[in-house]
Every structure is written in C-alpha cells, then in structure tokens.
Structure 1
C-alpha cells in the first residue's frame, strides 16, 4: 500500500536530518530528484528569480501556482512550498492560497512572520490548518521566524524564538524554521525546549549535516544558495561569451545537451 505524501513528509522529520536543496522550477526539481532527494522544496527567491521577479511576495500568484504545478508534473516526491507571508496580511486570504496549493498536490509549506507580528502569523497558521483539515490533508506547516534575521539582541534570540515557537505550535504548526541560527549552543537550546522539528538554513557557520543531526535538528535547507550560485554562473558565462565568443564552464562540468534532454524526458 502506497504511503500518502503528507504522511511520508511528516515521517521524514521524525529522525535524522532531512536535506532539502530548494528548487525554483521543474528543471531544478528534476535534478534534485535525480540526485536522490527524499522530498522537494521550493525557495521563494529561486521561484521569483526564475520568472524575473524580486523575492519578497512580488511574484504574481498565478506564476507561483504555475511553477508549483510544473514541479508536481515532473515528480511524485512530497513537495513543500515556500509561501513567504502567504502573499497577504489577511489570514483568510493566505489560507485560501494554501488551499489552492493543497488542491494542486502540495503537502507542506513554509510561512513566515518576517516583519509582521507573531500574533498575525499565528492567526494565519490557524486559518491554514483549518483549510488543510477540511481537505483531509495533514499539511506540514513549517513556521518560519525571522528573529535571527531582524536584529534582535543576541542574548534574547533563543528566548524570543521559543516564545514564538510555543505560539505557533498552539496555532497548529508542524515545524519551526529559524533561518540565521548557526551556534551549536543555540540550536541545542531550541531543540531541547520545543517539540517542533527544527529547520536550519544553510549559512556561513552552520554546523555540518552530521553535527546538526547530533544536535537534534531535523531539516537543513539550502535556501536560495543554489539559485544564487546558478545565476552567478549564468552571469559569468554570459559576460564571457559576449567578451570572447566562447563559453568555458570552469570548475563545474556542463551536464551536456544529451544528458539534460534525457533527464527532462524521464
């Protein structure tokens, strides 16, 4: 009997460290799946940049949905989508968007407090959980808190993260995402004090995956790092071609036309 993707995605947070490379389109999703990813995740920045938009809830919703449906067309792996702030300050509107994502086949989301209040994110989480429950889907709601990205006093960060974690857990969150957390002591303290699986984002100073697993973190996201590297490569090669009429890939070997075509037809 096949395990439902929502059940599988929750199970992937129960033990060990789930590695999510974060894709921006169907092509990068195919690459992530072929490389052995157990699940797929979007990066809001990667999706926005792939369409020529800035990150930060500027991407038109129809393009977000088109990207999600394209990814689901090429892979049956569990998919979690970075929904940023729900693309709205209105909890009902944010929940309606997530309802569309669930209907498309998504089994997880990230939703963030960003520059808003913790109380507002809690309201959004409650509304989203109600929408998911009405559809019979155990949606993995990964509550992202930007405490470490918003200049909170370093001595108060863990305390503030845990206060928000308790609020989000009570509202129906499934996991806690703390981008910017890098200290082993801070990671261990958060893991110890909340039952929500902790998601850490790749950043300078983040412990290696094996060490994160030892500390009790349950998820490591690449965030926008792969997309940033890819666009940096595209920029350098474009300038190289315009200057010299040549394209020399440098340290990374090109996949090649035939290999890429085979991958995209699987």
Structure 2
C-alpha cells in the first residue's frame, strides 16, 4: 500500500472542480490516457468483460480484473479498479481482494450493490462487506461504494438512494457512486447531506454537463464504458469507410505504450 498515492487520489475529489475519471479496458487504453495527461484512470467492468468475451456484472471476470490491475500498477497514474460486487458474497473474500489490489499499487476500487439477478444486495450485508474492506486497507485504498438504485430496473431510486449512501458512508466508504442519476435537484439534495464524502456520478452525453454537476456538488465524474463503446463504434466505422481520424496514434506510438511505464 502507498498511503501518499491514496491521499493524492483522495485530494483530486474537489468541490467545484470534480475529478474527471476516464475508464480504460486494457493496458494500451490506460497507458494512452496516462500519456495524454490524465493523472487518474479507472477501469470499466463492461470493457474488461467484453474484451475477454465474458458477460459483465456476473462475477465472471475476477481473474481478468486482477491481471489487468497488476499490469496497470506499472503506469505513472493513479488507478482505480471496478471490481463489480467484489466477486464474492463473503466479506472476508472481498476484503482479501481489495488488500491484494492495494498491495499491487492500485489506489481505489468501486464496489457495487447491484446483483447479477437484477436486485440490490441486502443493505446490512453490503455494509458488512464495506466494513471488512475498510479494515483490510485502512488508509491505503479509496473505497468508492456504488449503489445501483438508479441503474437497475425497478430499484428504489430517490428515497432508498439517500439511505444507502448514508449507510455506506458510515460503513467506511471514502466516496459514493450513483450511476444513472441525472436529476440535478436530487443530486444537490444528496450532496448536501453527504458532508465531506464525495459523490461520483456517471457522465452521459445527453445528461448534465460537468460544470452543471460541479455546481450541484459532484466531486467525481466517471466515463464508465463510454470510451470503450466509442472505440468499438470508431473501429467499425473505420472498417466500413477505410478512413480514420487524423489524430490516430501511429504504429510506433502504439507499440511504445507497452513499455513506456515498465
């Protein structure tokens, strides 16, 4: 664990100037983002899963996630890893995974409460998992507790969101994450009740702008799977037209990503 890196990452979650966190799906995409000047880079569970030919959100990509994380720890960047729901229902096993990632040099993890069957994990059990993780990595890993109240069909949304965020904060989460939430009024209400716990939202092209989210109190804006999906779309478009953007990396530049941070 490297407490100074944890502290640096934590301090990037600023009021009025939220951390814009791009999400990578492999070593090359993360290295490209770091080379472009992004100090912090996240991973996208959808991108990691789809790139491996596996489904997202089902706990099927533990090995791929850990392997990628170990490689990304070589980068000169602060890396936060999406570990879905922790790849286990056992708090001790999730805590052991978090400690393994922290020891490898990872500075943050996302842990979600959405389950593969489309329901939310029991609140008390999710808090038990968060407490176990917090105890295993005290001061060395930024724990971002995600609730899927606005992500899963039919979930509780506004009333339950506040209850879960408060419980996760009290269980030791460094930050809280509500993907799918775009209502600035509700965002403002949530941030006003979170005191010093940063709220993370997911960027959506059709949603509020980063300045609007900052005004509402958001301190971190993630890209999620957006970049991965954009890359897929660009690849198909380039194949169809045999035309590419003028700023596409050269062969040599791309090759250099593999060893630039070794």
TM-score (norm 1): 0.87
Confirm or deny that 1:221 pairs with 2:226: no
State yes or no: 1:257 paired with 2:251: yes
Deviations 1:87-140 (A, max 9, x none): 01111111111121111111111001113122221111011011112xxx3321
Q: Distance in 1 between matches of 2:169 and 2:141?
A: 14
What are the equivalent positions in structure 2 for 1:36-185 lying under 5 Å apart?
Answer: 36-73=37-74, 75-114=75-114, 115=119, 116-133=121-138, 137-152=139-154, 157-185=157-185
Query: How many angstroms apart in 1 are the aligned matches of 2:188 and 2:90?
Result: 34
Q: How many residues align?
A: 252
Q: Is the 2:62–2:83 Cα contact (8 Å) retained in structure 1?
A: no
Q: State whether residues 145 and 175 of structure 2, in contact with CA within 8 Å, keep that contact through their aligned partners in structure 1.
A: yes
Contact 1:158–1:190 (CA<8 Å) still a contact in 2?
Answer: no
Q: SS of the counterpart of 1:4? A: helix
How big is the shift at 1:263?
A: 4.1
Larger Rg: 1
**Counterpart secondary structure, 1:149:** coil
The answer for the alignment partner of 1:243 in structure 2 is: none
Contact 2:59 2:84 in 1 (8 A): no
- Greater relative contact order (CA < 8 Å, ≥ 6 in sequence): 2
Match of 2:32 in 1: 31
What is the deviation of 1:205? Answer: 3.6
**Alignment-derived partner of residue 190 in structure 2:** 190
| Equivalent-residue separation in structure 1 for 2:211 and 2:106 (angstroms) | 28
Change (3 A) 1:14 1:180: same
Contact 2:18 2:220 in 1 (8 A): yes
Greater fraction of residues in helix: 1
Cα deviation per residue 1:146-180 (whole Å; 9 max; x = unaligned)?
A: 11122457xx6332111111111111111110001
TM-score for the superposition, normalised by structure 2? 0.89
Q: Which digits, 9 at most, give the CA deviation of each residue in 1:19-56, with x for residues without a partner?
A: 01101111111111122212111111111122222211
Q: Equivalent residue of 1:41, what SS?
A: strand
Identify if the C-alpha distance between structure 1 residues 48 and 262 changes in structure 2 by more than 3 Å, giving closer, same or farther. same
Shift of 1:252: 6.4
Instruction: Quote how far apart the aligned CAs of 1:11 are.
Output: 0.8
What CA distance in whole angstroms lies between the structure 2 residues aligned with 1:131 and 1:252? Answer: 47
Change (3 A) 1:262 1:60: closer
> Where in structure 1 are there 5+ consecutive unaligned residues?
241-245
- Aligned residue for 2:150, secondary structure, equals helix
